């Protein structure tokens, strides 16, 4: 409950001098996070193929998957600070 209250306070502070309403502001924040998390679908697909089809996971695949997931983590962590 404390998290919801803090989010509400932060949203109100962000909306003090703008023309956007709270519902649109919250929808944009949720959509932006969902779009960032959606970038993990290729990594999930590759892991699913490795588990079900016996596909190999090489060094290039492991490094690229780590880069994708690291980028997603940076985007999400960057949004939490604001």
Q: Going from the first residue of the chain to its last (82 residues), give the mean pLDDT of each consecutive group of 10, the final group possibly shorter.
A: 65 69 78 84 91 90 93 76 47
Q: Is the pTM of this model over 0.75?
A: no
DSSP state of 19: S
Domain boundaries, the chain: 1-27, 39-82
Q: How long, in residues, is the chain?
A: 82
Q: Tell me how far apart the 2 most distant CA atoms of the chain are, in Å.
A: 55
Q: Give the span between the Cα atoms of 33 and 14, in whole angstroms.
A: 17
Q: Give the span between the Cα atoms of 20 and 17, in whole angstroms.
A: 9
């Amino acid at each position: 409950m404390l998290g919801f209250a803090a989010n509400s306070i932060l949203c109100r502070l962000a909306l003090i001098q703008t023309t956007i309403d709270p519902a649109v502001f919250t929808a944009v924040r949720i959509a932006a996070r969902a779009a960032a998390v959606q970038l993990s679908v290729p990594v999930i697909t590759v892991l699913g193929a490795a588990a079900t089809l016996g596909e190999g996971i090489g060094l290039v695949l492991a490094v690229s998957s780590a880069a994708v997931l690291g980028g997603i983590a940076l985007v999400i962590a960057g949004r939490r600070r604001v």
